[in-house]
Amino acid sequence: MNGIVAKKIGIWFLAFVLFMAHVFFRSVAHADTPQIANVSWKQVYMKGGECSIAFPSPPQLIQQALNLADGQKLLYDVYVSPFENKAVFLLLVATYPQPLTNGHEVAGLESLVQGIVAHHAENVLVFAEKMDFNGHQAIDFLVQGGSNYFRGKAVMVGNQLFLMAMEGRDQGEEALFAKFVRSFQLFRK
């Protein structure tokens, strides 16, 4: 399979999955959820065993698979957890049929951010920084759209993309996002 085709299909499908998570956010953010600020966050191990991360409430899992013409699949697991009617935390684990290499890692991360910005006409990229995250290519970013924000950190590891994100209405929850990202543990290199 052509890596460029897989990347393009993967990025568009990823935008679709993020849109589904966004719709899920709209429905759960206004639901009556208990105030959990004083409750300990729980470390959750991902279904595939590749990582764990702490969520403020038990996450819901959304799984998607996209069949490619050559019989391969793009797999997406999205873990979504509401926080006090203020925000939703999510971890997306996207598994591509083959690793992105030769600089395509950074291009894939940049395309992800561009897709999030292009998702809605009001979205504006506040910042995006390329960085090393535990020895892997990563991008740290913030997208603002009207009264909503999308704060994220995405990292490429071989054929997997891990997106840790928080979406909400009132920016200023940076300490919560930092806590979320610090809890991320990767079990594969």
Q: What CATH number does residue 117 fall under?
A: 3.40.1000.10
Task: Provide the pLDDT confidence category of residue 189 given band limits of 50, 70 and 90.
Answer: low
pLDDT value for 32: 41
pLDDT value for 34: 40
Mean pLDDT of all residues in 114-120: 86
Query: Can you list the pairs that 36-43 forms with residues at least 24 positions away whose Cβ atoms lie under 8 Å?
Result: 36/83, 36/84, 37/84, 41/179, 41/183, 43/183, 43/185
Task: Provide the pLDDT confidence category of residue 18 given band limits of 50, 70 and 90.
Answer: low
pLDDT value for 30: 41
pLDDT value for 31: 42
* 104 has a pLDDT exceeding 70: yes
The closest alpha carbon to 188, from 60, 94, 51, belongs to 51
| 3-class DSSP state of 113 | helix
Report residue 61: phi and psi, to 5°: -110, 130
Least confident of 6-10, 80-84, 96-100, 174-178: 6-10
Per the structure, the complete domain to which residue 101 belongs is given by: 3-186
Task: Provide the pLDDT confidence category of residue 99 given band limits of 50, 70 and 90.
Answer: confident
Total number of domains in the chain: 1
Name 162's Cβ contacts closer than 8 Å, sequence gap at least 6. 51, 91, 92, 93, 154, 155, 184, 186
Least confident of 137-141, 148-152, 160-164, 170-174: 170-174
Least confident of 10-19, 83-92, 122-131, 168-177: 10-19
150 versus 103: the higher-pLDDT residue is 150
